[in-house]
Amino acid sequence: MRMNIMAARTIAETVRTTLGPMGMDKMLVDSLGDVLVTNDGATIMREMDVKHPIAKMMIEVARTQEASVGDGTTTVVVMAGELLKEAEALIDLGIHPVVISKGYRMALERCLEIFEEIGVTISDDLPTLRAIALTTMTGKGVEKAKDHLSDIVVDAVRSVSDGEDGARRVDVNFIKTEKKEGAAVEDTELVRGVVLSKEKAHVSMPSTVLQAKIALVNSALEYKGKTVDAKISVTDPSQLKAFFQERVSVLKGIVAQVKKAGANVIFAEKGIDDYCVYLLAKEGILAVRRVRRSDMEMLAKATGATIVNNIDELDETSLGYAGLIEEKNIDGTMMVFVQECREPKAASILIRGGTKHIVDEVERVIEDCFGTLPAAILTRKVLAGGGSAEVELASRLRQFAEGVEGIERLGIAAFARALEVIPKALAENAGYNPLEILVEMQSLNAKMGSKVGFDAFTGKVKDLYEENVIEPLLVKKQAVISASELALMILRINDIIAATKLSLPIPEGMSAPGKMQ
């Protein structure tokens, strides 16, 4: 039964040292020798080659956290590991896992109430959102360019938000990222519109199109005639000629259809026959082929075009509009910029960095912000970071435990202790004595409340709103929920294993699974 807890704690220990702004990076090396350096908990766990089912379960939960709120994955795993460590200590005292689980569940419920009480309401003004983005980015190896990147993500996320209070919407699907190494991270830029890592199909096509009328087609623009399923046996030259003539007339028909619809730009998801490309170029139409499905969808959203399945369906009403389309050379890679779109909400971030490792890490950091910024904009509630929420929750849980009669109170107290692993790990990773910092936090928290946190950069315990270290309440709340559920799940599995093992002799050196007191 200990094996499950052990597996979970091992994963937790592995990522614990990456927590917070001063956390260390991990270098992951796969069996082929490919290297990935990251500080992102979710990425580390995704790439770790784990076999143990419990470890897999933890990784799954971390992934869910990442997908739902974009951040807090390391927190979930570290917290869950600590909840299990505390549970193990109680099991050692002879307390049954079921009782511990009950205490944990009571503690979680109480935490959710406390969250409602300690969340601070914000307006989604620029400085606040910037502070949230900065806190998300802290410690992710983009330190130097943090200000620049946070300006960009805040700008991008705001551009895809609309609606007033209550009916607010943030659609980050309107934002896409493209990566290109070979420049500084500070050169990362926001493009209002869609950037495609593609080039025009023919050199003589225009590189710039003003007032673009855009066709989006997801079928191949080619002659599909008899060549597909049959071998043509040519017995006399006129047959060959007829075949070519048919092909030419089909391809001419395609181009005529594009012209008739009034398009001067065409994006195709599949291929375009070279002869067709030549004809399009002759007509001065800009064509781009083999555009990714997701990019086609983004183009449709941004330009208002309808993607047609068949060239025959193309007409004026299916075209989209953009004020400016340009093909540009970005450090040796041709890219197509679709700007001044009909739908101004669409935005692209062209991520730059010295090497592939760097642009990948920048992309991960930006994507974290696509979780945290909407969480803040939609709920308008934040908390101070730096372990402040955990210390507050722990202190209030201890008060709550006082009033609980049953033995579950030990579970509640254990839950409170487990939460404190976060401030302790933040302090430890920054090179401070975790217990000293925790005690200092507890005493200042008693005087000043939940805004008191640990600032990893200065080592000071203070009001972190002053330092702009703030996080969306939703991220922390979700992290506590996920961590508790994970721990509860693992404790339940222990129960099942314990039940079958009860009939077996207990190996030496292992204590019996806890019995009800």
Q: How far is the CB of 40 from Mg ion (least distance, A)?
A: 8
Asked if 13 is part of the footprint of ligand ADP (rule: CB under 6 A), the reply reads no
From residue 57 to residue 96, what is the string marking binding to Mg ion with x (rule CB under 5 A)? --------------x-------------------------
Token digits of residue 152: 């960009």
Asked if 514 is part of the footprint of ligand ADP (rule: CB under 6 A), the reply reads no
Q: How far is the CB of 478 from Mg ion (least distance, A)?
A: 12
Q: How far is the CB of 429 from Mg ion (least distance, A)?
A: 13
Of 268 and 483, the one with the shorter C-beta distance to ligand ADP is 483
The count of residues interacting with ligand ADP (CB under 6 A) is 24
Among 8, 58, 69, 71, binds ligand ADP (CB under 6 A): 71
- Partner interacting with residue 75 (select from Mg ion, ligand ADP, none; CB below 5-8 Å by kind): ligand ADP
Choices 73-81, 95-103, 289-297, 392-400; region in contact with ligand ADP by CB under 6 A: 73-81
Is residue 287 classed as helix, strand or coil in its secondary structure?
strand
- Which candidate in 18, 40, 188, 273 is catalytic? 40
At residue 256, what are phi and psi to the nearest 5 degrees? Answer: -60, -40
Q: DSSP for 136-172?
A: HHTTSS-GGGHHHHHHHHHHHHHHTEE--TTS-EE-G
**What distance in Å separates the CA atoms of residue 304 and residue 385, rounded to the nearest whole number?**
41
Q: Which of residues 177-236 bind Mg ion (CB under 5 A)?
A: none
- Which candidate in 73, 136, 188, 303 is catalytic? 73
Token digits of residue 62: 């971390």
CA distances from 30 to 14, 60, 204, 356 (A): 17, 20, 44, 17
**What distance in Å separates the CA atoms of residue 184 and residue 199, rounded to the nearest whole number?**
23
Is 38 a catalytic site residue? no
Residue number of the CB closest to Mg ion reads: 71
* Nearest alpha-carbon partner for 212 in 319, 321, 318: 321
Looking up tokens 């939609």 gives 378
Of 78 and 358, the one with the shorter C-beta distance to ligand ADP is 78
Asked if 426 is part of the footprint of ligand ADP (rule: CB under 6 A), the reply reads yes
Is 74 a catalytic site residue? yes
**What distance in Å separates the CA atoms of residue 394 and residue 503, rounded to the nearest whole number?**
38
**Residue 507, number of CB atoms within 10 A of its CB:** 7
Q: How far is the CB of 19 from Mg ion (least distance, A)?
A: 9
Q: DSSP for 186-240?
A: GG-EEESEEEES---SSTTS-SEEEEEEEEEE-S-BS--TTTTT-PPPPSSHHHH
**What distance in Å separates the CA atoms of residue 413 and residue 418, rounded to the nearest whole number?**
9
Token digits of residue 187: 């050169």
Q: How far is the CB of 33 from Mg ion (least distance, A)?
A: 28
Choices 12-20, 233-241, 271-279, 352-360; region in contact with ligand ADP by CB under 6 A: 12-20
Contact 70, 52 (CB under 8 A): no
Is 317 a catalytic site residue? no
Q: Which of residues 444-503 bind ligand ADP (CB under 6 A)?
A: 454-457, 469, 471
Asked if 70 is part of the footprint of ligand ADP (rule: CB under 6 A), the reply reads no
Is 171 a catalytic site residue? no
- Which candidate in 14, 18, 43, 74 is catalytic? 74
Residues of this chain that bind Mg ion (CB under 5 A): 71
Catalytic amino acids? Answer: 40, 73-74, 368
Q: Which positions lie near ligand ADP, rule CB under 6 A? A: 18-21, 23, 41, 71-75, 135, 138-139, 385-386, 422, 426, 454-457, 469, 471
